Amino acid sequence: MDGREYTISEVVDSFGITKHTWYIFVILSLAQLFDGYDFMIINSTNMFVAHTFWPDNPTPGALMGSLTTWGLLGMVVGGALGGILSDRIGRKKVLIGAVLFYGLFTLPQAFANDLGFFAAFRFLAGLGVGSCIPIVYTFFSETVPSNRRGFFITCGGAVMVFGWVVAGLVANAVCSSTTPLLGDFTNPVEYVNADGTTGSMFANWRLCYIIGAIPIAYAIFLHFAMAESPHWYANTGQTEKALEALEDIEYHSVGTRTKRDPSLLVVPPRPESTAPSTLFSKRYIIGTCAIWSICFVGQFCVYGMNAWLPTWFSGIGYTPSEAITLQTWNNVAAIIANSIVGYISDTVGRKRCLIFSWVLCIVVIVACSMFVQPNAMVLCVFLMCAFGFALNFSISSIYPLMPEQYPTAVRNTGTAWCQAFARFGGSASSIVLGGIAAMPIFQVDGATNWSWVVLILNVPFVLALICTLVFVRDTDGKSLDTLVTESAERDTDTGKTAFAIMMTIIVILFILCIVCPLAVPGWSKLPISLTLMSIGILLPFVFFFIMGGSQLAREKKAAA
């Protein structure tokens, strides 16, 4: 020790990328893998689940879309609660609990014979899934070198997408089997097709949810393999434990242990409040508007389209197996996007990377709308690869920004609430797109013209591009402690008013885009339904532009 003050970030950065960095990445990325499987398995099996639940209804529409929604709603609640708990009782405890929770409650879904039972356990499992990913992103941001923070966070996202691919491969092999894989448990099902003909299958989809219980064993492994974040220890006043954690990281990284003077450790001051409303205070509102707006768009589009891709391709003549294969290629391209986007973001900057990504999305979605066609498997594989790459490049560009906006005391609250809100958009998107697809304007010869429906995604893509240009500030390469000191002015604003407005908007969004399509008979056929759903989706952006724009104007005036 040379008597100089130091921060947790400076010490971690001094080690560089080591075998310990990769160890942390591998053990926590497994959480991403299981999370990705849990999310995508419903999208890959929803046609088979729908045939089981509604064998006499060939077009269950919003009901089928809701199969995805219940888990996403659980993720919203779980993410919101898990973020707060993680900042208060620690990253490790909450992550282990979250993994154990979604493993335990995925298993009963295999025994469902109706929507009510399935939805209840889908929601409960979602509570754990929603808590998991924000903690992993936060933990990566606190334990890897600052100049490669984006790379490791987005590569973790790539592992999550790999979980999507695994889910697609498992679902395709299991659900397409012409024999009952678990005897009488995978019961035979007779169902009616959209053209009035009948079909038959075995409910082998149940096996996919039994496989989804594997995280129970992983939670036990994580208890012994994971250490707590030194940032969290330091921020909660546990200086000695923070320095012990740093010593352990140093030992596993470079093979030595350095005794550091606890009195020289500089810990950025905690905000006066750590309630979720703090995210909407003047100090953090611009960052909140940035990540909430663009993450909402990303999740809305990726969750909505993944829920309906198999239906789209089945509707134009591809077999269910081919439809799932095309969805899987979409996710393979997503893995590539996630693997490289972090490096690009660290190299060219967060903002430039995001601007490019949204422009790419607009171009690709127009191409998919124009060129997806029947009997063109090779062309559709190419288009789905392009779509999966563009959309996941965009959404993954957001992930490094989330933990960089807030101090340690509210970092996972901020990350988790951003993802919870975005997943709320994702939970609405499968229903909204399903409702839009059923509208007369999108029907051609009695079938949905999905090529027209997907063009609607350009509206949120353009909004995301505008929000990126207005609100995003580059944070790449800076340590977390430096970013805290660069935050906007410190004042007495608690953010409670803005928070209350945002929660009111979320309730309106929930009613117009989730409750009404599911509860109002013939909702999609009502002339006003599209207008009301559009209002629900666009209201958050009105809030972002008003609240974030006002703070930007104040800062510009103060700097003049």
| pLDDT at residue 491 is higher than 70 | no
pLDDT in tens, 170-224: 998 898 888 999 988 998 988 887 777 888 889 999 999 999 999 999 999 999 9
> Measured between alpha carbons, how far is 242 from 229 in angstroms, rounded to an integer?
8
Supply the pLDDT for residue 488.
Answer: 44
473 three-state secondary structure: coil
Q: Is 434 exposed, middle or buried (0-12, 13-18, 19+ CB in 10 A)?
A: buried
> Measured between alpha carbons, how far is 176 from 188 in angstroms, rounded to an integer?
13
Nearest to 236 by CA among 130, 343, 330, 142: 142
What is the mean pLDDT of the segment spanning 256-277?
85
User: DSSP state, 4?
Assistant: -
Supply the pLDDT for residue 62.
Answer: 63
What is the mean pLDDT of the segment spanning 494-517?
90
Nearest to 377 by CA among 338, 424, 321, 432: 321
- Cβ proximity of 458 and 367 under 8 Å: no
pLDDT in tens, 431-490: 777 777 777 777 777 677 777 878 888 889 999 999 999 999 877 666 666 766 655 444
> Measured between alpha carbons, how far is 180 from 283 in angstroms, rounded to an integer?
58
| pLDDT at residue 17 is higher than 60 | yes
- The correct CATH number of 8-486+494-559 out of 1.25.40.10, 2.60.40.10, 1.20.1250.20, 3.90.930.12 is 1.20.1250.20
Per-residue tokens: 249:
């990281």
Q: How confident is the model at residue 294 (pLDDT cuts 50, 70, 90)?
A: very high
Nearest to 114 by CA among 38, 200, 37, 203: 203
Q: How confident is the model at residue 547 (pLDDT cuts 50, 70, 90)?
A: very high
- Cβ proximity of 342 and 398 under 8 Å: no
- Cβ proximity of 139 and 27 under 8 Å: no
Per-residue tokens: 129:
């899934």
> Measured between alpha carbons, how far is 213 from 255 in angstroms, rounded to an integer?
37
- Cβ proximity of 109 and 121 under 8 Å: yes
| pLDDT at residue 68 is higher than 80 | no
Nearest to 39 by CA among 206, 134, 217, 160: 160
Nearest to 296 by CA among 133, 467, 162: 467
Name the least confident of 115-124, 485-494, 528-537, 543-552.
Answer: 485-494
Task: Delimit the domains of the chain by residue range.
Answer: 8-486+494-559
Q: CA 449 from chain center: how many Å?
A: 28
The full length of the chain comes to: 560
238 three-state secondary structure: coil
pLDDT in tens, 45-60: 888 888 888 888 777 7
> Measured between alpha carbons, how far is 75 from 59 in angstroms, rounded to an integer?
27
For 449-469, the DSSP string reads: -HHHHGGGGHHHHHHHHHHHH
| pLDDT at residue 111 is higher than 90 | yes
Per-residue tokens: 116:
């009510």
User: How far is the CA of 182 from the CAs of 38, 43, 115, 174, 185, in angstroms?
Assistant: 21, 22, 22, 11, 6
Q: How confident is the model at residue 117 (pLDDT cuts 50, 70, 90)?
A: very high
- For 226, what's the count of Cα atoms within 13 Å in the CB-facing half-sphere? 28
Q: Is 112 exposed, middle or buried (0-12, 13-18, 19+ CB in 10 A)?
A: buried
CA angle 352/79/332 to nearest 5° reads 55
| 59 phi/psi in degrees, rounded to 5 | -135, 75
What angle, rounded to 10 degrees, do the helices at 19-53 and 149-175 form?
30
User: How far is the CA of 472 from the CAs of 154, 250, 549, in angstroms?
Assistant: 18, 34, 12
pLDDT in tens, 313-370: 877 888 877 887 887 888 788 888 888 988 898 888 889 999 999 999 999 999 988 8
The residues pairing with 191 across neighbouring beta strands, listed in sequence order, are: 199
> Measured between alpha carbons, how far is 279 from 384 in angstroms, rounded to an integer?
37
The residues pairing with 527 across neighbouring beta strands, listed in sequence order, are: none
